[in-house]
């Protein structure tokens, strides 16, 4: 099992199919499309039914083994999973058969740790076996930067350069990046997030830097997608009453990488009743599901669930590909996907900030569960779906909590009056020494640094 090699194709269908290794190290396909597994392997029933006996890292190994074929040595993959997943994944009962899965216990208290930690280790494996090195260059507006910096911290063969807008990230977010040191280099930019992204793009297209092996490790990388399938299997394996029980997931969505992980799990045979796509007021995907017409939200709407303020999700092309359609890199739909099948599997709901705040209050006062804005969007999406469709109280359902409430202290304090307790991973940052440089937003400054480091 798992010894066959899965090929990865580009959603633009104009590039060659590649191995997992290539998809991982390349990031984006040469035709500007996103890589997708060409055939998603179905787990056999025995494997599916034995998942509940496995610890999280063993379960991750089992799933990833199927998706990476024989490209990573079995024993090594097992070690990498053990190394990446050394933290808890709490599943909390709320009411009836509804649960919250907290994906916030990793080193940066964000669900992005799940993907970033595994992607970094798989990259390092391939680089080390080829005696190559790589520079990861990424721009961040907050959470992604800290997850990537932490995930690559201390890994050999890889150096990391992260650009952030000095006035647009919180002190906590900055300290999560600037106190690491070693192979992690942090650069503050006197400018906005868009300036940081522009600088990164300039470096990637600068032919005089082509001798530097640069990679972006951003959220469209296949290596970030696949590890996000695993926790869907984990939740089901722990909560199911019988082997065929179907589960509803509510996924708080921005760029839809998290949801794509779930959809891949579904294709691998996980018994899913429905994926509820819960967005904030950037509701272009729920609207697309309803009308079949896709209109990006430009500019994106600022909501308190800030990591989901996305008006044109980067993973939408993958979802459309999964349902037989084609969306190009400009966001135009060249072939309409099977809308009927999409609406059978997915239900989209867009939630206002007011409802998000009310949900944080309600969950806390009614169930003593503390949610942050993204998890609250998911919970509200789930309860609306259950109420609107008269779903029975016996239906198993799980919402994903994607960040720790302590990362959003103002929002939580304003509706509940309490200060969320800091998790261990976020305490003590004040005592550590910060190291970063600050530069102006012109490209020559960045280029000089890239050539020097």
Pick 113 or 362: Cβ nearer ligand PLP? 113
Beta carbon of residue 355, minimum distance to ligand PLP (angstroms, whole number): 16
Considering only residues 188, 252, 286, 357, which one is a binding residue for ligand PLP as defined by CB under 6 A?
A: 252
Q: Which of residues 366-395 bind ligand PLP (CB under 6 A)?
A: 374
Find the shortest distance in angstroms from Cβ 50 to ligand PLP. Answer: 29
Total of residues contacting ligand PLP (CB under 6 A) = 15
Residue with Cβ nearer ligand PLP (174 or 240): 174
Subset of 124-143 contacting ligand PLP (CB under 6 A): 143
| Residues in 286-315 at the binding interface with ligand PLP, rule: CB under 6 A | 307-308
Kindly tell me which of 110 and 350 has the beta carbon lying closer to ligand PLP: 110
With H, G, I as helix, E, B as strand and everything else as coil, classify residue 92.
strand
User: Per rule CB under 6 A, is residue 255 in the interface with ligand PLP?
Assistant: yes
Q: Which stretch binds ligand PLP (CB under 6 A): 52-60, 84-92, 188-196, 246-254?
A: 246-254
218 binding ligand PLP? (CB under 6 A)? no
Residue from 281, 403, 406, 446 touching ligand PLP (CB under 6 A): that is 403
Q: How far apart are CA 285 and CA 381, in angstroms?
A: 14
Q: 12 vs 250, which CB is nearer to ligand PLP?
A: 250
Closer of 114 and 125 to ligand PLP (Cβ): 114
Contact 36, 322 (CB under 8 A): yes
Beta strands in 111-197 (DSSP E): 134-139, 158-165, 184-190
- The Cα–Cα gap between 446 and 451 comes to 9
Q: Reduced to 3 states, what is the DSSP secondary structure of residue 100?
A: strand
Total H helices, total E strands in the chain: 18, 15
Toward ligand PLP, which CB reaches closer, 61 or 256? 256
CB within 8 Å of 199: residues ≥ 6 apart = 139, 163, 189, 441, 443, 446
Q: Are strands 396-401 and 247-252 parallel, antiparallel or unpaired?
A: parallel
Instruction: Quote the CA–CA distance of 304 and 282 in Å, as a whole number.
Output: 12
Say whether residue 283 binds ligand PLP (CB under 6 A).
Answer: no
Q: Which is nearer to ligand PLP, 143 or 353 (CB)?
A: 143
> Where are the alpha helices (H) located in 52-94, listed in sequence order?
56-68, 74-84
Beta bridge partners of 37: 8
Contact segment (CB under 6 A) with ligand PLP among 248-256, 267-275, 295-303, 384-392 equals 248-256
Considering the complex, state which of residue 308 and residue 415 has its C-beta at the smaller distance from ligand PLP.
Answer: 308
Q: Are 272 and 247 in contact (CB under 8 A)?
A: yes
Confirm or reject binding of residue 230 to ligand PLP (CB under 6 A).
no
By CB under 6 A, residue 279 contacts ligand PLP: no
How far is it, in rounded angstroms, from Cα 166 to Cα 171?
Answer: 10
Choose between 62 and 258: whose C-beta lies nearer to ligand PLP.
258
- 254 binding ligand PLP? (CB under 6 A): yes
Q: Which of residues 19-48 bind ligand PLP (CB under 6 A)?
A: none
Segment interacting with ligand PLP, rule: CB under 6 A, options 174-182, 250-258, 317-325, 332-340: 250-258
- 110 or 222: CB nearest ligand PLP: 110
- 24: burial class by Cβ within 10 Å (0-12, 13-18, 19+)? buried
The residues with which 129 forms a beta bridge, in sequence order, are none
CB 279, CB 253: distance < 8 Å: yes
Task: Give the C-alpha distances (Å, rounded to integers) separating 36 from 189, 223, 268.
Answer: 34, 11, 14
CB atoms within 10 A of CB 334: 12
- Which residues in 80-119 contact ligand PLP (CB under 6 A)? 110, 112
280 binds ligand PLP (CB under 6 A): no
- Would you say 215 and 25 are in contact if contact means Cβ atoms under 8 Å apart? yes
Q: Which stretch binds ligand PLP (CB under 6 A): 40-48, 255-263, 356-364, 383-391?
A: 255-263
Burial (CB count within 10 angstroms: exposed 0-12, middle 13-18, buried 19+), residue 430: exposed
Select from 178, 183, 215, 253 the one that contacts ligand PLP (CB under 6 A): 253
Beta carbon of residue 172, minimum distance to ligand PLP (angstroms, whole number): 14
Q: In what order do the strands lie in the sheet with 214-215?
A: 214-215, 134-139, 158-165, 184-190, 437-440
Smallest separation, CB 411 to ligand PLP (Å): 12
Q: Which residues in this chain contact ligand PLP in the complex, by CB under 6 A?
A: 110, 112, 143, 252-258, 307-308, 374, 402-403
């Amino acid at each position: 099992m798992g010894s066959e090699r899965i090929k990865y194709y580009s959603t633009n269908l104009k590039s060659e199919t590649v191995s997992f290794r290539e998809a991982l190290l390349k990031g984006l396909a040469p035709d500007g499309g996103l890589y997708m597994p060409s055939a998603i392997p179905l787990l056999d029933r025995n494997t599916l039914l034995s998942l509940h006996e496995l610890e999280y890292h063993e379960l991750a190994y089992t799933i990833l083994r199927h998706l990476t074929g024989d490209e990573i040595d079995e024993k090594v993959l097992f070690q990498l999973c053990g190394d990446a997943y050394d933290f808890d994944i709490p599943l909390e009962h709320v009411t009836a058969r509804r649960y919250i899965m907290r994906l916030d216990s990793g080193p940066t208290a964000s669900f992005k740790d799940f993907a970033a930690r595994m992607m970094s280790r798989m990259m390092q494996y391939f680089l080390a076996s080829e005696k190559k090195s790589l520079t990861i260059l990424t721009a961040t507006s907050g959470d992604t930067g800290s997850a990537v910096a932490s995930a690559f911290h201390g890994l050999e063969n890889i150096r990391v350069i992260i650009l952030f807008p000095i006035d647009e990230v919180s002190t906590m977010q900055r300290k999560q990046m600037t106190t690491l040191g070693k192979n992690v280099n942090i650069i503050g930019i006197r400018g906005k997030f868009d300036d940081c992204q522009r600088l990164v793009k300039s470096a990637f297209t600068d032919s005089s830097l082509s001798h530097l092996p640069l990679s972006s490790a951003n959220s469209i990388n296949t290596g970030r997608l696949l590890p996000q399938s695993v926790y869907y299997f984990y939740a089901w394996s722990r909560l199911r009453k019988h082997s065929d029980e179907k589960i509803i997931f509510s996924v708080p969505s921005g760029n839809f990488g998290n949801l794509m992980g779930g959809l891949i799990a579904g294709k691998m045979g996980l018994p899913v009743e429905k994926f509820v796509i819960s967005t904030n007021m950037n509701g272009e995907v729920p609207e697309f599901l309803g009308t079949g017409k896709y209109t990006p939200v430009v500019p994106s709407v600022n909501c308190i669930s800030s990591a989901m303020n996305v008006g044109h999700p980067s993973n939408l092309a993958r979802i459309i590909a999964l349902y037989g359609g084609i969306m190009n890199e400009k966001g135009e739909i060249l072939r309409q996907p099977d809308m009927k099948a999409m609406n059978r599997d997915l239900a989209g709901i867009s939630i206002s900030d007011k409802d998000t705040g009310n949900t944080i209050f309600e969950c806390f006062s009614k169930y003593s569960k503390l949610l942050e804005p993204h998890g609250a969007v998911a919970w509200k999406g789930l309860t609306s779906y259950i109420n609107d469709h008269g779903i029975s109280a016996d239906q198993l359902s799980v919402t994903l909590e994607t960040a720790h409430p302590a990362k959003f202290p103002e929002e939580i304090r304003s509706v509940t009056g309490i200060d969320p307790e800091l998790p261990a991973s976020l305490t003590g940052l004040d005592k550590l020494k910060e190291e970063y440089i600050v530069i102006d937003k012109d490209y020559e400054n960045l280029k000089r640094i890239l050539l020097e480091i």
